[in-house]
Amino acid sequence: MKRVWAFDIGASNGRLMVNSFDGKYMYLEEIYRFPNFPVQVTNNYYWDILNIYSEMKKAMKKSIYKGFDQIESMGIDTWGVDFGLLSNTGEILCNPYSYRNPRNIEGMERVLDQISSDELFGLTGLEIASINTLFQLYTIKEANPKLLEQAETLLLTPNLLAYLFSGQKYNEFTISSTTQMLSAFDKDWDKNILDRLSLPKDLMAPIVEPYTIAGETLPAINKEMEMDPVKVTYTAGHDTACALAALPLEDDQSIFMSCGTWVLIGVPVDDPVTHANAMKWGFTSEGTMDGYYRLQKNNMGMWLLQQSRLIWEREGITTDYENENRLFMESEPLQSLIDPDHPSFFTPNNMIEAIQQFCRDTNQVVPKTQGEIIRCILESLALKYRWVINHLEILTGKKLKRIHMGGGAIRNQILCQLTANATELKVIAGPIEASSIGNAIGQWIALGEVKNIKEAREVVKRSFPLKEYKPQDSDKWEDKYNYFNENILQG
Ligand code: LRH
């Protein structure tokens, strides 16, 4: 039995899984999980990167202590778009900013004054969103120019962490495809975009393809961990690309949904889709582990519930899943709806008040109890997912037949069932730890233990439980969808 370490670091928590493979079955053991969240300092939000790094080292120690010490390789995946800047001596210059910084909206507007959104979308295939690395960089140039002047290298978050373990400075293809600086044509940095915005042209560390073994852990780490050197592999650095690799999609009528703080919905495609409607409807084309693309839409996911729970916890109200489930069941279905992607939900001070305000502004019943809020969030998410799938069908010209949901948020069985109901499609949920498994798949392919993604998906089907949800109450949802589409999405 061979083993790899898969570090899957999300925007709300990070975890280390040991993935073991005997040539036929894969096994997953969770070693350690730690919270991760953007830290607000006055008007900015930052990632506490050194805390993430030290939690990762703690996780390695725990793995070794548990006897999982013969490790073939380690790989790291994270959320998209964010990055760290290194000085010419290789030190991190500043705590990495979080994509939730409100000031990025201005940075985006300033960029779009110079390069139109149509042109940028055509060059990169990426949705124009204020979170994108390009807009964040431009924001730094305006707000903190000295920082950019000192910066010699930009590494995206998974690659920044890999650098701290291996000393290697590369940006991996899938995570680089979330920046809006990667050319949709040749998978390399579009230096012309940087040049036109007077951003440093050579800032971006070179691109490597997934499945690259970059080197091994530094001697100082080996000494600190009391371990033999471990290979550091560039698996797909983007969590969504990892999740897709692990979802056992059957054919080209299968949809993937990677479900966590965000819910990413899409289908695999050969090339970036830069059709005008893709842009109008907010679709994006990002890289897959096997070097192709995913046509997808980035949607709000558990963020709305996570933020509401913070408020309930502050008020001393229980927020465990069992309790939430019961309160959901006890409240009246389909009473109040929100557009989960409305800007007022992006970084509100109080999520519950923001939801209530949205319902007031759209002349709906204002949800008050915990159960009513949970219903409003989950039913609205499911209806939005239907909207996304309808538009995916138009863009691809295909009738889409089934949904594969993976990621931590599928523990919420209500979300899976509501998605089946609202979309009137069969949902196949699993595996839960899709990103960690995909992360390991990238490493097994790099190590030559698995041939390709197709073979890896067969291993996943054999090794992990999948659960099916069939659509229910179709007529109720049909009516509500029409109402949602006409009245709420404009809201
Ligand atoms: C989900 C995700 C998503 C976006 C966002 C910033 O975790 O990776 O695909 O890139 O984070």
Task: Note the pLDDT of residue 156.
Answer: 99
Asked, for residue 284, whether it belongs to a domain, the answer is: yes
Task: Kindly give the distance from the C-alpha atom of residue 143 to the centroid of ligand 1, in angstroms, as a whole number.
Answer: 24
Res 136 pLDDT > 90? yes
Task: Kindly give the distance from the C-alpha atom of residue 418 to the centroid of ligand 1, in angstroms, as a whole number.
Answer: 23
Asked, for residue 441, whether it belongs to a domain, the answer is: no
Task: Note the pLDDT of residue 318.
Answer: 84
Query: Which tokens hold the place of 308?
Result: 């509401």
Test site for ligand 1: of 8, 101, 262, 288, most ligand atoms within 8 A of the Cβ? 262
Pair (229, 267) in one structural domain: no
What is the share, in percent, of the chain residues with pLDDT greater than 90? 98
Q: Where do runs of H (alpha helix) occur along 262-400?
A: 276-280, 303-314, 321-330, 351-361, 370-396
Task: Note the pLDDT of residue 319.
Answer: 84
Query: CATH number of the domain that 157 lies in?
Result: 3.30.420.40
Test site for ligand 1: of 12, 79, 283, 341, most ligand atoms within 8 A of the Cβ? 79
Task: Kindly give the distance from the C-alpha atom of residue 80 to the centroid of ligand 1, in angstroms, as a whole number.
Answer: 4
Given 213, 239, 265, the domain boundary residue is 239
Around Cβ 369, how many Cβ atoms within 10 Å? Answer: 11
Pair (163, 206) in one structural domain: yes
Asked, for residue 346, whether it belongs to a domain, the answer is: yes
* Annotated catalytic residue 113: no
d(CA 222, CA 225): 5
Pair (140, 266) in one structural domain: no
Query: Which tokens hold the place of 58?
Result: 């703690």
Distance linking the first and last C-alpha atoms of the chain: 55
Asked if the peptide bond before residue 272 counts as cis, ω within 30 degrees of 0, the response is: no
Task: Kindly give the distance from the C-alpha atom of residue 240 to the centroid of ligand 1, in angstroms, as a whole number.
Answer: 7
Pair (75, 173) in one structural domain: yes
Pair (204, 270) in one structural domain: no
264 Cβ inside 6 Å of ligand 1: yes
Tracing tokens 């299968």 back to the chain, one arrives at 254
240 Cβ inside 6 Å of ligand 1: yes
Pair (135, 188) in one structural domain: yes
Task: Note the pLDDT of residue 42.
Answer: 92
Radius of gyration of the chain (CA): 22
DSSP for residue 112: H
Test site for ligand 1: of 101, 239, 256, most ligand atoms within 8 A of the Cβ? 239
pLDDT tens figures, 64-107: 999 999 999 999 999 999 999 999 999 999 999 999 999 999 99
Pair (308, 271) in one structural domain: yes
Asked, for residue 328, whether it belongs to a domain, the answer is: yes
Q: What are phi and psi of 142, to 5 degrees?
A: -80, -40
d(CA 221, CA 74): 13
Res 491 pLDDT > 80? no
Nearest CA to ligand 1 atom 8: 79
239 Cβ inside 6 Å of ligand 1: yes
Average of per-residue pLDDT values in the chain: 97
Task: Kindly give the distance from the C-alpha atom of residue 1 to the centroid of ligand 1, in angstroms, as a whole number.
Answer: 32
Pair (218, 283) in one structural domain: no
Task: Note the pLDDT of residue 474.
Answer: 84
Instruction: Identify the active-site residue in 8, 77, 239, 339.
Output: 239
Given 204, 239, 274, the domain boundary residue is 239
Tracing tokens 């730690």 back to the chain, one arrives at 34
Task: Kindly give the distance from the C-alpha atom of residue 345 to the centroid of ligand 1, in angstroms, as a whole number.
Answer: 16
The domain of 346 spans 248-430+451-491
**Considering its fold, how many domains does the chain have in total?**
2
Single pTM value for the model: 0.96
Pair (296, 205) in one structural domain: no
Given 194, 219, 239, the domain boundary residue is 239
Pair (215, 272) in one structural domain: no
d(CA 43, CA 268): 38
Pair (282, 180) in one structural domain: no
Asked, for residue 445, whether it belongs to a domain, the answer is: no
**Among 40-44, 234-238, 253-257, which stretch is predicted with the lowest mean pLDDT?**
40-44
* Amino acid letter, residue 431: P
Asked, for residue 442, whether it belongs to a domain, the answer is: no
SS3 category, 400: coil
Asked, for residue 95, whether it belongs to a domain, the answer is: yes
131 Cβ inside 6 Å of ligand 1: yes
168 Cβ inside 6 Å of ligand 1: no
Asked, for residue 443, whether it belongs to a domain, the answer is: no
Pair (31, 175) in one structural domain: yes
Q: What are phi and psi of 217, to 5 degrees?
A: -60, 145
